[in-house]
Structure 1
Amino acid sequence: MRHFHFGHGHHHCSVARGEHDDGLSGGGRGHRGGRGGGGRVFGHGGLRFVLLQLIADKPSHGYELIKAIEERLGGSYAPSPGVVYPTLTLLEEMGYLSVDTADGSGRKSYSITGSGREFLAANREMADAMMARMSGGVDGAGPRGGRPPQVTRAIENLKLAMRMRLTGAPLTDQQAHEFAAVLDAAAQQIERI
């Protein structure tokens, strides 16, 4: 089982793929999913950006966020509560969201924090790509065309892998050379495509 570690400051949260994976990752091959189905709409980690952007626009309850995503996708897909709520909890633990239960309903209302806005700003291209994909439907690349979703997903996976490795134990001189060699080789292969 693959695990992904999301770090924020000294807090690290391990997310087991298939348990509380917020990414809805992998190739959907045109499968449009369903409520709680296996729809693969956002790519790994993409749901975090969508939820943060929606909450930045308007503080919301989890159910409202699920409905907002479903409406933007024309009813073709709704993320399951079993994916959305753990993602919201992860974002709260990372310091990107704050929770308010003061409305008396007992439901949690999520608001974005200053750190959450900084994270969104630092990942503006990815957040915009995810929101554009929702506007363009499950199978579209968004109203402006742009980068194919599988390329966006691969770029985000690479960035996550690099971030995880570089925030771990310091690289030895040999590891630093190997790290750079892998990236240089990938750049050369991409140029030949």
Structure 2
Amino acid sequence: MRRGHDGDGMEGGRGGPGRGHGLGGPRGGGRIFSHGGLRFVLLQLISDKPCHGYELIKQIEERLGGSYSPSPGTVYPTLTLLEEMGYLSVDNADIGGRKRYRITDAGQVFLEENRVTADAMLARMQGGVDGAGPRGGRPPQVTRAIENLKLAMRMRLSREALTPEQADAFAAVLDHAAQQLEKI
């Protein structure tokens, strides 16, 4: 089974603006969850309400304000691990053959024995004790604008090489934006 570098299956995310590494990757300023943290989050969410893997992904994304969405390639192996450990059971009776995960008694005991860690992981998803929120309290419209700018720069720089005049203009736009932001 392939998992993320921190052993909890929480490396990377889905592509697209505002997604991808999010808080969990190299550009986001650290991991969302500590080693094994995704396990506790998944167990708690399933303890609250039996869910499909896709529903869990969406719940995590919503709790993080859309700034991060774990990939199916990280969530499903972690769910399989929890099932193999006896902490989850699977109900295949759903239409379409999708697995609905339920916490077992052993999973509930494990979750309660690790309540401090589980609560810490959930608090990080809600912004922690200081209420800073994911991305340090960055408003979603600012995150969107940053991602749009990064995408526009990458798209332009991936085309033909800039002429010296274009490079000067490109740098001038960025310098002007930086100066304007310093005034806010």
Q: Name the residue aligned to 1:34.
A: 19
Choose from 107, 126, 133 the match for 1:116. 107
Is 1:22 paired with 2:8? yes
Over aligned residue pairs, what C-alpha RMSD do you find?
Answer: 2.6
Q: State how far apart, in whole Å, the 1-side matches of 2:45 and 2:117 are.
A: 14
Deviation >2 Å, runs of 4+: 15-21, 33-40
Distance 1:120 1:126, change over 3 A: same
Secondary structure (helix, strand or coil) at the match of 2:112 reads helix
Instruction: Give the secondary-structure state (helix, strand or coil) at the position aligned to 1:106.
Output: coil
Distance in 2 separating the partners of 1:83 and 1:46 = 12
User: Which residue identity does 1:93 align to in structure 2?
Assistant: E
3-state SS, counterpart of residue 60 of structure 1 = coil
Measure how far apart 1:132 and its partner are: 0.5
1:107 matched to 2:93? The reply is no
Contact kept? 1:70, 1:78, Cα under 8 Å:
yes
Q: Counterpart amino acid of 2:120?
A: A
Whole-Å separation in 1 of the counterparts to 2:71 and 2:87: 21
Question: In the alignment, is the contact (CA less than 8 A) between 1:66 and 1:78 conserved in 2?
Answer: yes
Q: Is the 8 A contact 1:20 1:83 kept in 2?
A: no
> 1:68 matched to which residue of 2?
59
Contact preservation (8 Å) 2:3, 2:77: no
- TM-score, with length taken from structure 1: 0.56
* Cα contact 1:56–1:112 (8 A) shared by 2: yes
Listed as ranges, the gaps of 5+ residues in structure 2 are 12-17, 26-30, 132-184
> 1:21 offset after TM fit, Å?
3.2
Partner residue of 1:80?
71
The amino acid across from 1:105 in the alignment is G
TM-score normalized by the length of structure 2 = 0.59
**Which protein has the bigger strand share?**
1
Counterpart Cα distance in 2 of 1:109 and 1:135: 25
Aligned residue-pair number: 120
Measure the CA separation in 2 of the matches of 1:62 and 1:90.
13
Partner of 1:22, secondary structure, is: coil
2:45 and 2:4 mapped to 1: Cα distance? 24
Residues 46, 130 of structure 1: 8 Å contact kept: yes
Say if 1:21 and 1:83, in contact at 8 Å, map to a contact too. Answer: no
Structure 1 unmatched ranges of 5 or more: 1-14, 26-32, 137-141, 147-193
In the other structure, the counterpart of 1:133 is: 124
With over 3 angstroms needed to count, the CA separation of the structure-2 counterparts of 1:99 and 1:17, relative to structure 1, is: closer
Identify, as 1 or 2, the structure richer in helix: 2
